[in-house]
């Protein structure tokens, strides 16, 4: 992030083509044109860039580069600072980055049903965010889906401008191609009351990434994205006391829930202004490859491939998200469940294409390696979901690694992750 900001400053204000020669800790060296610039003061937290030979109006530019880590709700303490915003269904920020947590805020976060949050932390360096789709695009889309959903609930009809939906999906597609090396993380935090709206956007992004891996382009890819955004529309016709039931559904209640697929199909068909695959996705996204799904129980090749793409994205996000009736499974558990579903719930090539784009270990997670050392997950290279880049925090004897070495597990056949530490274990780490 900071690299891009520095480049932008040089390009826009100095009209030069800069190259960063070195950037680390408290120093940054940049060559632009025929001049060499060196920073006088560059801290990991709240960077103040003051370059020699800069025009006067550029000498006090402040760039905020916050180091963050992921932490269990149970480990939060008053005085910690929130590193990532918390949203509601209108995509309003309930809590903004940088706010100092109090006992009241921590209790509120627990009440929202969140399992973890991101906090600011100067100890951990190198954790840079590279999202598949920008936060701005994501928020705008969540608001749009919320408005469509609530309007449909009030009127009983899907009243939508199809071109707006197609443009929205095309903006997703454009950003995915621009960030072709990025991998999908479940990074943004919403309360479980707002699950349906953020869920639709997550499913859309994952479905599009999977579709691209399978070779989808043009109208086929756009239709896949629109179908993903509207796949759960029929849930507006399910009674809220069933949708929001905190306990296990009865057999009768589950039969009612299953009707959301048919309801969604009917709403989309009656709108009569979206291409046919959108309604097909709404109807069949809970079908299984072995024929055990619903509503029709159709097996194997009779389920269109694009429907299975939305189906596996829907299942993964549902498993890995907090729900009103249970806590989320960890992303690595959700990954294992999906990996085991090939030619059972979904066609194997769909499973492989989906998993190619998913990060097993969340960025910012604290993990144990097979040699007993403890590490922080920095990022995951696309196509290697089990082998992220990590920063070593301490060795197997619990001694802090002063160098904070970064290791790419792709390049280390002898090292691999054995588990993610739970909240209580994180709290015991003296360096945290």
Q: What is the pLDDT of residues 135-186, one digit of tens each?
A: 778 888 988 998 999 999 999 999 999 999 999 999 999 999 988 777 887 6
Whether 126 has a pLDDT exceeding 80, the answer reads no
User: What's the whole-model pTM score?
Assistant: 0.74
pLDDT of residue 414: 93
Point out which residues pair with 82 in neighbouring strands. Answer: 119
Nearest-10 Cα torsion for 146, 148, 149, 153: 130
- The better pLDDT of the pair 144, 432 is held by 144
In percent, the amount of the chain with pLDDT more than 90 equals: 45
- What average pLDDT does range 125-138 have in this prediction? 68
Q: How far apart are CA 53 and CA 157, in angstroms?
A: 63
Do 298 and 274 contact (CB within 8 A), yes or no? no
Cross-strand bridge partners of residue 379: 389
DSSP H stretches of helix in 286-416: 305-319, 331-339, 348-355
- DSSP 8-state symbol, 74: G
Does residue 117 register a pLDDT over 90? Answer: no
What is the model's pLDDT at position 1? 42
Name the nearest CA neighbour of 332 among 360, 367, 368, 364: 360
Range with lowest mean pLDDT among 56-70, 91-105, 319-333, 395-409: 56-70
DSSP state of 123: S
By C-alpha distance, which of 157, 216, 196 is closest to 357? 216
Structure tokens at 274: 């979206």
Domains and CATH numbers, the chain: 2-58 (no CATH), 68-120 (3.90.105.10), 135-355 (1.10.3210.10), 366-428 (no CATH)
Q: How far apart are CA 285 and CA 313, in angstroms?
A: 10
pLDDT digits (tens, 9 = 90+) for 344-394: 999 999 999 999 999 888 887 889 999 999 998 988 998 899 999 999 988
3-state secondary structure of 34: coil
- Bridge pairing between strands 68-72 and 389-394: unpaired
Determine the pLDDT at residue 58: 36
Q: What pLDDT, on a 0 to 100 scale, did the predictor assign at position 361?
A: 87
Alpha-carbon distances, residue 423 vs 76, 312, 432 (angstroms): 9, 29, 12
- Check pLDDT > 50 for residue 43: no
35: pLDDT strictly greater than 90: no
DSSP assignments along 102-166, one per residue = -HHHHHHHHHTT-SEEEEE-SS--------SS-HHHHHHHHHHHHHHHHHHHHHSS----HHHHH
Confidence of residue 33 (pLDDT cuts 50, 70, 90): very low
Mean pLDDT check: name the lowest of 16-30, 118-132, 135-149, 404-418.
Answer: 16-30
| DSSP reduced 3-state for 292 | coil
């Amino acid at each position: 992030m900071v690299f891009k900001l520095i480049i932008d400053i040089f390009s826009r204000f100095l009209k030069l083509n800069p190259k960063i020669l070195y950037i680390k800790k408290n120093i940054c060296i940049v060559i632009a044109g025929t001049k060499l610039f060196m920073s006088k003061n560059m801290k990991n937290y709240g960077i103040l860039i003051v370059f020699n030979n800069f025009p006067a109006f550029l000498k006090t530019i402040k760039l905020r580069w916050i180091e963050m880590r992921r932490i269990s709700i149970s480990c939060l303490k008053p005085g910690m600072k929130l590193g990532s915003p918390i949203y509601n269904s209108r995509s309003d920020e309930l809590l903004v980055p940088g706010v100092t947590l109090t006992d009241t805020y921590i209790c509120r976060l627990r009440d929202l049903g969140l399992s973890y949050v991101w906090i600011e932390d100067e100890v951990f360096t190198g954790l840079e965010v590279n999202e598949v789709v920008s936060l701005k695009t994501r928020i705008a889309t969540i608001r749009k889906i919320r408005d469509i959903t609530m309007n449909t609930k009030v009127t009983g009809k899907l009243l939508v401008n199809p071109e707006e939906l197609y443009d929205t999906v095309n903006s997703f597609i454009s950003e995915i191609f621009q960030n072709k090396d990025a991998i999908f993380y479940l990074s943004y935090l919403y309360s479980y009351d707002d699950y349906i709206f953020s869920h639709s956007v997550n499913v859309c992004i994952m479905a599009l990434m999977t579709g691209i891996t399978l070779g989808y382009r043009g109208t086929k890819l756009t239709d896949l994205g629109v179908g993903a955004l509207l796949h759960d529309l029929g849930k507006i016709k399910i009674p809220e006391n069933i949708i929001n039931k905190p306990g296990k559904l009865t057999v009768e209640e589950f039969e009612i829930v299953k009707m959301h697929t048919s309801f969604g199909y009917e709403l989309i068909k009656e709108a009569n202004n979206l291409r046919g695959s959108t309604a097909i996705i709404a109807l069949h996204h809970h079908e299984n490859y072995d024929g055990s799904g619903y509503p029709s129980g159709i097996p194997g090749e009779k389920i269109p491939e694009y429907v299975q793409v939305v189906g596996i994205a829907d299942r993964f996000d549902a498993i890995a998200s907090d729900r009103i009736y249970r806590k989320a499974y960890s992303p690595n558990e959700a990954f294992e469940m999906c990996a085991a579903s090939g030619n059972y719930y979904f066609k194997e090539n769909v499973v492989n294409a989906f998993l190619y784009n998913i990060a097993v270990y969340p960025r910012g997670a604290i993990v144990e390696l097979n040699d007993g050392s403890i590490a922080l997950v920095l990022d995951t290279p696309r196509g290697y979901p089990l082998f992220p880049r990590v920063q070593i925090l301490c060795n197997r004897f619990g001694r802090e690694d002063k160098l904070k070495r970064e290791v790419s597990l792709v390049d280390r056949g002898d090292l691999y992750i054995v588990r993610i530490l739970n909240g209580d274990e994180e709290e015991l780490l003296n360096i945290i």
